[in-house]
Amino acid sequence: MANDNLLLARLKIDLGIMQSTVYDERLTVLLDVAEREIKREGALTLSRENAADGELIIDYARWQWLCRREPQAMPRDLRYRLNNRVFSEKAGTNNV
């Protein structure tokens, strides 16, 4: 739970809405959805305790938040990191 609060705080910083708690519930759900979508996309096992996995979840959730009004392609760096994460797990080198 403490790590969930940390991810939420970091996502809010990335989005520039640090002072408000109005969106906390929605952003928490968005983090959960992002994690599920990443797992489904590559049949990955993610851990919110792992810093790299946490950053991936935050970046994916941030992209989803920014796309809510105007759909846009996934940023190349996010796509690259997702692909690397999938390939490393499939190869058994889960040292991200």
What confidence score (pLDDT) does residue 1 get?
A: 53
Residue 96 falls inside a structural domain: no
The answer to whether the CB of 64 falls within 8 A of the CB of 33 is: yes
The answer to whether the CB of 52 falls within 8 A of the CB of 7 is: no
Domain count, the chain: 1
> Is the pLDDT score of 95 beyond 70?
no
> pLDDT tens for residues 13-66?
999 998 888 999 999 999 999 999 998 887 678 888 888 899 999 999 999 999
What confidence score (pLDDT) does residue 55 get?
A: 93
Residue 60 falls inside a structural domain: yes
Residue 22 falls inside a structural domain: yes
Q: Which domain holds residue 12?
A: 2-90
